[in-house]
Structure 1
């Protein structure tokens, strides 16, 4: 637990997602229109050439985008769609997805996400992909 109740809640929500537990994701920052999601790179997350699989990058972008939007729209949100552009192969020890709200209205938010990998030696980060998505406030379930 931290001294930040919002970050603690975000971590509980992430931990409630079985796939996020499988990937080993963690929320390291949450609030004020921003969220940071991290995934440690390990062999089972790589593709055949030794790079982090694009699906892992897409997962991280989707979740970071949705968490960032949740800071503006509230906790009940769903991704309406997102696009991702891969810039270079993702190599390193940690994937970092930094998302920030570009615009938020009452029912939807547009969010940008930079995906970076941190190198083992000096911790320098390299931008490997960018994503942008639209997130909608979820409607309450109907009886």
Structure 2
């Protein structure tokens, strides 16, 4: 099959396919958009996100494409498949390295570093660090579960 016929066949599949397609990232964004493989190969796909959020899907990640073949063959990537459950009304920012910030439906915020600290901003105004230390909104520092916690230089009372 010559290259012209392959190209025409691919374009026919693309035109007849839905306006939404799942594709796999073959090259992450390096400033020009991502490349992905779906029904066909797509190059330099712009990434779309809400204001204040930047994202760059890693190699091999499935992404959702929206296509508008009737208006200049425009294709944009609008998101990735959600692989973890969130409660209704929650949002989470996360990196491939394991860092995350979760805005909970009850108004609390939880920030985590991969293998490191967890910081929770509670709705009562307190801050909890690694489930071990609580700083109240009045600035009082409390040890949580003081008896079973290994510590140095901090004494009860």
Q: Which has the higher contact order (CA 8 A, sep 6+)?
A: 1
TM-score bucket of the superposed structures, by smaller chain: under 0.3
Larger Rg: 2
TM-score, structure 2 normalization: 0.25
Q: TM-score, normalised by structure 1?
A: 0.27
Q: Which protein has the bigger strand share?
A: 1
Higher-helix-fraction structure: 1
